[in-house]
Structures are given as C-alpha cells and as structure tokens.
Amino acid sequence: MQLIMKAFKTYSVALIVFLFIGCQSNIQVQRVTGYALGTSYSVTYFDTKTNPEVLPAIDSVFYALNKSMSTYIPNSDISRINRGEQQVVVDHHFKTVLKKSQFVWKTTYGYFDPTVGTLVNAYGFGPENRIDSMTASVRDSLLTLTGLQKVTLTADDKIVKENPNIYIDFNAIGKGYAVDVLVELLHDQFRYENILVEIGGELRAVGINSIKNTPWTVAIDTPVNDNEKRDYLRTLQLSNQALATSGNYRKYRIDDAGDKYVHTINPFDGRAKASSILSASVIASDCMTADAYATAFMSMPLSLVDGFSIEGIEYLLVLSSEEGDYSLMASPGFPKLNFP
C-alpha cells in the first residue's frame, strides 16, 4: 500500500483514500498449515491472494531449525554436541536460543534448565533410551550432568561442556523461537503487518485481524487429561504479543509399577512429579521468552511463582484443588479473560 501511495503522491488525498479502501476490500485471510517440529503449525496472514512463496520459505525455516537444534535428527548440530563432538560451530539460531536460555535460567533461579535433557531421556520423554528403574542413586548420578552453568559458548561459536555426557535439549523453548522466526519472515521478507503464527499451541499475534479490524482472539485450553478432547478455559485478545502455555495434564507416562511421571523435570532433585500447577500460560513480547517462562513456572514451587515479577512478563496459572476442581491465579497485568 505504501508503494501505491508513493506512486500517486501528486494526486488528491481523496483519490489516495479511495484507492486504499478499494485495495483493502479485496484482502482475504490466507492460512498455511502443516506439521513440523513434532507438532502442527498454522500461519495466518492477509493478502489479495495466496502468496506461493510463503510455504517454501516456511519449509526452509523449519529445515534450518531442525538442522541446528533437533535432538531427533542424528546429524543436527545439537545431536553432534550431545555426542561429545567439540568442533561443531553453531549457527545464530543456536546461539540466540542458548543466550535466552541462560537469561531465563538466571532469572528463574535455575528452574529453567535445558541440560535436564539426560533426565528427560531417562524418564522416556526424549529420543534416547529411557531407564526402566529410576532409583534415587540413578537419579543422583544423572543430576551431576545437569546445570546450565556447565555449558559455555566460546568466542569462535563452539560449545564447551564440563562433562561430555551433558545433554542439551531446547524443546522447552524451541517451538516459541520457531514462532518468532516465522513472524520475522512474514514481516521482514514479505512485508505483512497483520500476522498470527501458532506452533503446537505456542503463538504470537502481530497487528490485528484485518477482516474483523480487531485484536487477535486466542484461547487457553482447559487442563484435561483427554488427548482427543479440547475445551477452552478462557479467550483473550492479543496484539503484538505472544502467548505460550505449558502443562502436565496431557504429556505423562505411567511405568510398570504404576508410578506417574510428567515431562516437566525439576532440575534440582531430578524428579518428574506433578505439582499443584496444572498449567502455566505466559504472555511476553516474543514467543521464545513466553515459552521458556511457561516451562519454568511448571517446575518452580508455587511460592516462587506467586509474586514473580519481570518487566514484560505476565502469567496465568491453573491450580488443582483438593476437591478435584481447579482455580486460577494471575499476575496483575495479565489481560482480561473472556468466557469461550
């Protein structure tokens, strides 16, 4: 639209406004959906017709992110680093996620820690072989491989680990980062100003819904154990914000002894037990940040989350009750919630 206005800048204001309205009336919602990073994704933008260049560009983003940080691809950079290779030069994606992880690790007192990857595998939530009998001694030995302070990035972009067996897993922040990369792609390369990108429930809303001329309406799931059923807890409106939700109500494993393990690992005691926090939803300016803090709040004691304050971070917790119901606890600046 800016090009049209520049080309006709000598014409009257009325003509420019007329052309603007005429072009706007032809804009339609465009949506690209698919499967990547082990989950589904949806990209929404507005244009007069489908842009054939968008899907290949999206695919190239996922290819680059998988090559850098997928623990499920044997020859990815992170897999090679996890095997103990010391000469891997990491790309800007890896460096960005590592630096954000270090910041969140510090501000959450160490509860957000991508080096719990060894424990994630041991409990059966990762790509490596799980350990059938998680005894206290086994857990303690695995804890020696945990601690983000044991991982450093050198000046020549290589990763140094205090122990070669330390296993890095960016799954708790990776989907959020992928959302941000796709938003930047659509905004910077294709010049779209109103965008909604969602990957596996993590999302970022830019601008407005052009069809409705309102902020984007998004939903937070009700924490239920049924993987086939989705029910919305509340809806809210976002503009130029990201929302990420982490929960233990769907992703868990029950071993042969009947013990239930959730995928959120406490990096200090190595346990994978559910807490009173059923889910944590976080709003931030970018989805990588929201994703990381949502994960951290699931492993932090409720006493630490209550009153947690960092500029630009707002949260909503769904808490279990003794009666089997749930209650809500939100930070002061969390947006007003609407019923579905």
Q: Where are the domains of the chain?
A: 65-171
Q: Which residue has the higher pLDDT, 141 or 39?
A: 39
CATH superfamily of 65-171: ApbE-like superfamily (1.10.3980.10)
Q: Which residue has the higher pLDDT, 293 or 336?
A: 293
194 and 44 Cβ atoms separated by less than 8 Å: no
Environment class of 329 (CB within 10 Å of its CB; exposed 0-12, middle 13-18, buried 19+)? middle
Determine the Cα–Cα distance for residues 33 and 80; give it in Å rounded to an integer.
30
Instruction: Please state which of the ranges 103-112, 170-179, 314-323 shows the lowest mean pLDDT.
Output: 314-323
110 and 268 Cβ atoms separated by less than 8 Å: yes
Closest C-alpha to 337, from 222, 203, 180, 197: 222
Determine the Cα–Cα distance for residues 55 and 50; give it in Å rounded to an integer.
10
Instruction: Please state which of the ranges 49-58, 122-131, 157-166, 224-233 shows the lowest mean pLDDT.
Output: 224-233
Cβ atoms within 10 A of the Cβ of 100, count? 20
Answer yes or no: is pLDDT of 86 > 80: yes
pLDDT in tens, 205-225: 999 999 999 999 999 988 765
The whole model's pTM is what?
0.87
Which of 59-68, 111-120, 329-338 ranks highest by mean pLDDT? 59-68
pLDDT in tens, 269-307: 877 766 778 889 999 999 999 999 999 999 899 999 998
Q: Enumerate the H helices of 92-135 as residue ranges.
A: 92-107, 117-122
- 162: Cα separation from own chain's centroid: 28
179 and 287 Cβ atoms separated by less than 8 Å: yes
Determine the Cα–Cα distance for residues 123 and 255; give it in Å rounded to an integer.
9
pLDDT in tens, 186-203: 999 999 999 999 999 999
Environment class of 120 (CB within 10 Å of its CB; exposed 0-12, middle 13-18, buried 19+)? buried
Sign of the torsion angle spanned by Cα atoms 231, 308, 104, 126? negative
Determine the Cα–Cα distance for residues 276 and 260; give it in Å rounded to an integer.
15
Q: Which residue has the higher pLDDT, 322 or 27?
A: 27
**SS3 assignment, position 247:** strand
Distances (CA, A) of 193 to 7, 150, 184, 188, 212: 20, 41, 10, 9, 15
